[in-house]
Amino acid sequence: MQTAAAEENLSIPRAIVTSRIARLRLLSGLLQGVLLYALYYTARHALWPATNGYLFAPLLLICLFVPVLFISALGHLEKRLLWKWMLAAMAICIALGVHDIWRLDFAGNWQGERDNLTRFMPSGWMVALSALGFFIAHVFVLAGARDQRRIASYATYFETAWKLAIQIMFAILFVGVLWLILWLGAALFMLVKLDFLRRLLDQSWFVIPVLTFALSTALHVTDVRPRIVHGIRSLLLVLMSWLLPVAALIVGGFLVSLPFAGLEPLWATRQATSVLLGAAAVLVVLINAAFQSGEVAGEVARVLRVAARAACLMLLPIAGIAVYALALRVQQYGWTADRIRAAACLLVAACYATGYLWAALERGSWLMRIAQTNIVTALLLLAILLSLFTPLADPARLSVASQMARLESGKTLPAQFDFHYLRFEGARYGDTALHSLQARSEGEHAETISTQARAALSSKNRWERPSQPAATAQTRAANIHVHPAQAALPEGFLAQDWSAYDRPYKIPDCLRQADKRCDAYLLDMNDDGHADILIGEVEPNRQLILFSTDAQGQWRSVGAMDIGYGCKQVPQALKDGQYRAVAPSFRDLEAGGRRLHVQPWGDEQADCKP
Rounded to whole angstroms, how far apart are CA atoms 197 and 188? 10
- 422 in the same domain as 338: no
- 286 in the same domain as 339: yes
- 486 in the same domain as 453: no
Domain boundary among 187, 207, 235: 235
- 416 in the same domain as 557: no
Specify the range with the lowest mean pLDDT, choosing from 112-121, 366-375, 491-500: 112-121
Predicted local distance difference test score (pLDDT) of residue 41: 94
Q: How many domains does the chain have?
A: 4
Long-range Cβ contacts of 51-56 (<8 Å, 24+ apart): 52/120, 53/101, 53/104, 53/105, 53/119, 53/120, 54/97, 54/98, 54/101, 54/102, 54/105, 56/120
- 205 in the same domain as 136: yes
Domain boundary among 213, 235, 257: 235
- 112 in the same domain as 92: yes
Let me know if residue 79 belongs to a domain. yes
Let me know if residue 488 belongs to a domain. yes
Let me know if residue 281 belongs to a domain. yes
Higher local confidence (pLDDT), 527 or 401: 401
Specify the range with the lowest mean pLDDT, choosing from 204-208, 502-506, 514-518: 502-506
pLDDT digits (tens, 9 = 90+) for 446-466: 888 998 898 888 877 665 555
Full DSSP string of 281-301: HHHHHHHHHHHTTTT-GGGS-
Predicted local distance difference test score (pLDDT) of residue 112: 42
Predicted local distance difference test score (pLDDT) of residue 540: 62
Let me know if residue 181 belongs to a domain. yes
Predicted local distance difference test score (pLDDT) of residue 508: 87
Higher local confidence (pLDDT), 280 or 516: 280
- 433 in the same domain as 378: no
Full DSSP string of 95-150: HHHHHHHHHH-STT-SSSS--TTTTTPPPHHHHHHHHHHHHHHHHHHHHHHHHTSS
- 293 in the same domain as 399: no
pLDDT digits (tens, 9 = 90+) for 189-246: 999 989 999 999 999 999 999 999 999 999 999 888 878 888 888 899 999 999 999 9
Percentages helix, strand, coil for the chain (3-state, rounded to 5) are 65, 5, 30
Domain boundary among 235, 269, 297: 235
Let me know if residue 609 belongs to a domain. no
Task: Judge whether 501 and 510 are in contact, CB under 8 Å.
Answer: no
Average pLDDT over residues 170-183: 95
Q: Domain residues for 332?
A: 242-388
Task: Judge whether 95 and 36 are in contact, CB under 8 Å.
Answer: no
User: How many CB atoms neighbour CB 179 within 10 A?
Assistant: 15
Residue 239 burial (10 A CB sphere; 0-12, 13-18, 19+): exposed
- 411 in the same domain as 354: no
Let me know if residue 4 belongs to a domain. no
- 254 in the same domain as 361: yes
Let me know if residue 140 belongs to a domain. yes
- 301 in the same domain as 229: no
Predicted local distance difference test score (pLDDT) of residue 191: 93
Predicted local distance difference test score (pLDDT) of residue 224: 84
Predicted local distance difference test score (pLDDT) of residue 565: 60
pLDDT digits (tens, 9 = 90+) for 538-582: 766 678 899 998 888 888 888 888 776 656 777 778 888 888 778
- 256 in the same domain as 358: yes
Predicted local distance difference test score (pLDDT) of residue 255: 94
Predicted local distance difference test score (pLDDT) of residue 514: 79
**Average model confidence (pLDDT) for the chain?**
86
Let me know if residue 462 belongs to a domain. no
Does the pLDDT at position 605 exceed 70?
Answer: no
